[in-house]
A and B are shown apart, each in its own frame.
Chain A
Amino acid sequence: MTPASRYDAIVIGGGHNGLVNAAYLARAGKKVLVLERRHLVGGAAVTEEIYPGFKYSVCSYVVSLLRPEIVRELDLARHGLEILPLESTFTPGRNGHSLVRWADHDRTREELYRHSPRDAEAYDDFGRLMYHLALAVKPLLSTIPPDPTSLRPRELRSLLKLGRHARDLGADKFHALYKLMTMSAADFLDEWFETELLKATMSASGIIGTFLGPRSPGTAYVLLHHYMGELDGTFRAWGFARGGTGGVSEAIANAARGHGAEIRTNAPVARVVVERDRATGVVLANGDEFHGRVVVSALDPRRTFLSLIDRDRLPAEFVRDIERFRMRGSSGKVNLALSHLPDFTCRPGLGPHLRGAISISPSVRYLERAYDDAKYGNFSRRPYLDMVVPSLIDPGMAPPGKHVMSIFVQYAPYDLTGGWNDAKREEFGDNVIETLAEYAPNIRDVILHRQVLTPWDLEQDFGLTEGNIFHGELTLQQLFFLRPAPPWGAYQTPVRNLYQCGSGTHPGGGITGAPGRLAALRILADLGGRGGR
């Protein structure tokens, strides 16, 4: 083996978390190699020109909760990161009804007031409660999860710190947090609001990426994530990346390269080399071999442990836990190139309501019905759609006057009755357009190109097992020290020198970069050397 192929760390997978991990390790002076299977970095955070002149944020389409400390520490603004505001949420309804939550407080209040004066006030109170809870829970996002069963001083200190946050909440807010952890999003919101358009749209944020309905217990917690984004509001942690979602990955890759990391694309890893009980390197599909003091996998836990490592190298119990880790893809994606903007019947014409998120979520019942379809193996006849028109925010995404539209579609079960195939994919795509056309009838006539991704495609093209966009559902039994499987919730694995840093680890999915960063901190602490803070 030549010295050129020896590294301090080899990162498998050039998704945003892999890149963040590599950047932090390189920043600490380590010699780092990133190996990406595809021809470009970014994983599910990529921008691709599938149709000439039109750039799609193919999978992930908004930046959620990108940790401000990462932006700061990796100097991402200098490396080209620009997060543009995604300020409003528009929910078209039937019979001329609609609801827009604007960036402006007074304007939102005015809108809500038209539907329900009580809701208009409750919305403020709810926002304040969530603000408090988010303040208490947010430190978790930047903490390596302590194992509550461990008595090691490090773990106890960390637990104590988190306990203090909970105590500072006060009794009433702690009770609300408990409810949030245990209730369904819809039930929790029922305690506050009566406006269906509002409840449905808010509850939808609790089901994204999970195979659960708005009335399934445990979905309320994810409501908090939205408000955590607001805490970083002035930092614009929540929004749309210039140049599409790939812009985030590019900026992180630039930062990593700037610190000396080497990034290879078209370099699929076939397996992790394990000698005795420790990882020593990787072998590519073409047989090339690289040696690393540590190997870090940014892939999801199933791929990492069930396809890159021989089973007999792992404890049987751990393998079973990973097999049981719930991936269950529940969503698909439709990307459109448009000659004209969609024209909504309830709010005709061009307006600021098109600049933010557009949500097809007319009622909680609608969402729950959409889930019913999926429970029994079908894609939703009338799915929940979460849409953005990136070209209105960043004109560079499409030729002048033309537009791209990103449509997140839920539910689409991975285990479709009869299985996914080309015909089913088209049927799925047609069904999305039909749904949208019920609110914006002109959509059928303005589509220049359509890209449809089913959970099957997400698995095949992007390596997301079962098409799960979060590398495993963000449900409470799969979060914190349980992610992906105890006692391996702190980035280490049963194989020495093998680490994980993907969304399948704490704090989970979305473009946060947090797993990548926290894993790097753990690795640096284990390796010793500078930068391990």
Chain B
Amino acid sequence: MLPGTPFHARTRVLCQSQNWRRWAGRIVAGSYELTHDWEYFAIRNRAAVIDVSPLFKYDVQGPDAEAFLNRVVTRNVAQCAPRQVMYTPWCDERGKVVDDGTLSHLAPNSYRLTAAEPNLRWLVDNAAGFDVEIGERTQSVAAMAVQGPRARAVLQRATDADLDSLKFYHLTLATIAGIPVTISRTGYTGDLGYEVWVEAQHAVAVWDAVMAGGTDFGITPAGMLALDVARIEAGLLLIDVDYISAQKALIERQFSSPFELGLGWAVKFDKGDFVGRDALVAEKERGPRWRFRGLELEWDDLETVYGEVGLPPQLPGRAWRTSAPVYRDGQQVGYATSGCWSPILKKYIALAHIRADHAAVGTRVGMEVTVEHQRREAGARVVLPRFFDPERKRSCP
């Protein structure tokens, strides 16, 4: 059997549905209850605890840590102050995205990079000539995300750190139940939230303390199904679903550049040379061929295509991850890679790759929907892929 995470002793008991899913070679709960709705609304309404331990984690330390990371990732690491966190993609020499994750500046000359896929080899290969040490911490560090409007209150009960002063995309060193932890003001839900990083052997004690502190606020363990809906609403990319790593792509059309993934803002040319820079400069001049966009499906259209077979619109309660063609005037202009019914926005939404010349916000396109085994098209509006973006996400009272 595949191993569980360091929280498995707890999640095993809580997972009534026995709905386990695989994530990076670990098993994690798909949903704890038989349906994931309660867990989704914990993320948006109360506070949810999500086991994100399978994330790959690499510690980068040494006098050249900043210079090395600046060479690998596309953002400017020099601007990442100690105790600050940056979201960043990184690319191969051809400017195609290898992976994306968060870079935490833990202390001077000490960083931690998270990744969705194994990247140790990529980092080590690129570290030649730099005075850095790269440590794999994937298994030795556990991580739990505490996400939702009440996340601050929940976590404040469990820790001595002053969370009111912890700004968005910053971190603090703290203790929970007497155990040293790192708390970062980050998450993958687009909501107010934190991620707690702890040495694996203390994971269960920290879980217990956070859960105890959260009882009064309706704290709920949430699984991958709820998280998947939340991250689509927030417009956050998922590797292998919304894009394919340059390390895995087999044919040209499977590669994506940061510009094509809506990550142009994270590419900093003013910081000196980095892997993929030349290719990215050229692409920026040329303009990307694809844009990463959101689609909002037209309710009336859904009613029409379902109405024709005598049904009301059948909405995807769970996020889907199959590819759906996107058309404009009978021509395919793109494809949606994930989508769901957003319970909070009351909209059917999807994330899509649209050819640049059809990607202007407001463009009307059609997305394929299968209605009773027949391919139909439902109208959709092209939007920026940030469907849900509440003020509290960045808030710092």
- A residues bordering B, Cβ < 8 Å? 106-107, 109-110, 117-118, 120-122, 124-125, 128, 131-132
Contact = CB atoms under 8 A, between A and B. Distances in A.
B120 A121 contact: yes
Given A110-B2, A110-B3, A117-B136, A131 B121 contact: no
A128 B136 CA distance: 23
B203 to A, nearest CB: 19
Given A118-B121, A124-B118, A106 B250 contact: no
B124 A118 contact: yes
A131 B250 contact: yes
Contacts of A131: 250
B248 interface: yes
B118 A106 contact: no
B239 to A, nearest CB: 14
Closest 6 pairs between A and B when the two form their complex, measured CB to CB = A106-B25, A121-B121, A121-B118, A117-B136, A121-B120, A109-B25
A470 B24 CA distance: 41
A121 B134 CA distance: 15
B22 interface: yes
Contacts of A128: 247-248, 250
B2 A106 contact: yes
Question: Which secondary structure dominates where chain B touches chain A?
Answer: loop
Contacts of B136: 117
8 contacts: A106-B24, A109-B25, A109-B118, A110-B3, A117-B120, A118-B120, A121-B122, A124-B118
Interface in B109-140: 118-122, 124, 136
Contacts of A106: 2, 22, 24-25
Contacts of A132: 250
A122 B25 contact: no
B24 to A, nearest CB: 8
Given A106-B2, A117-B136, A118-B120, A125 B247 contact: yes
A121 B120 CA distance: 7
Contacts of B119: 121
Question: Which secondary structure dominates where chain A touches chain B?
Answer: helix
Nearest to A128: B248
Contacts of A110: 2-3, 25
Nearest to B252: A170
Nearest to B2: A106
Contacts of B118: 109, 120-121, 124
B111 to A, nearest CB: 19
A358 to B, nearest CB: 22
Contacts of A109: 25, 118
Contacts of A117: 120, 136
B121 A122 contact: yes
A368 to B, nearest CB: 27
A125 B3 CA distance: 23
Given A117-B120, A128-B247, A128-B248, 12 more contacts: A106-B22, A109-B25, A117-B136, A118-B120, A118-B121, A118-B124, A120-B118, A121-B121, A124-B118, A124-B247, A128-B250, A131-B250
A107 B248 contact: no
A109 B26 CA distance: 11
B88 to A, nearest CB: 20
A110 B22 CA distance: 13
Nearest to A104: B2
B140 to A, nearest CB: 12
Interface in B133-166: 136
Nearest to A135: B250
Interface string B21-36: 0101100000000000
A118 B122 CA distance: 10
A122 B124 CA distance: 12
Contacts of B248: 128
Nearest to B249: A128
Contacts of A125: 121, 247
Contacts of A120: 118
Interface string B298-341: 00000000000000000000000000000000000000000000
Nearest to A107: B2
Contacts of B120: 117-118, 121
A228 to B, nearest CB: 16
A297 to B, nearest CB: 41
Between B121, B124, B247, the greatest number of chain A beta carbons within 10 A of the residue's beta carbon is seen for B121
A122 B121 CA distance: 7
Contacts of B250: 128, 131-132
Interface in B34-81: none
Interface string B1-33: 011000000000000000000101100000000
A474 to B, nearest CB: 27
B276 to A, nearest CB: 16
Contacts of A124: 118, 247
Nearest to B121: A121
Nearest to A110: B25
B55 to A, nearest CB: 15
A119 to B, nearest CB: 9
Contacts of A118: 120-121, 124
B31 to A, nearest CB: 21
Contacts of A121: 118-122
A252 to B, nearest CB: 33
A125 B125 CA distance: 13
A275 B122 CA distance: 67
A131 B25 CA distance: 22
Nearest to A121: B121
Nearest to A108: B25
A117 B57 CA distance: 13
Contacts of B121: 118, 121-122, 125
A170 to B, nearest CB: 10
A117 B119 CA distance: 10
Nearest to A170: B252
Nearest to B25: A106
Contacts of B122: 121
Nearest to B248: A128
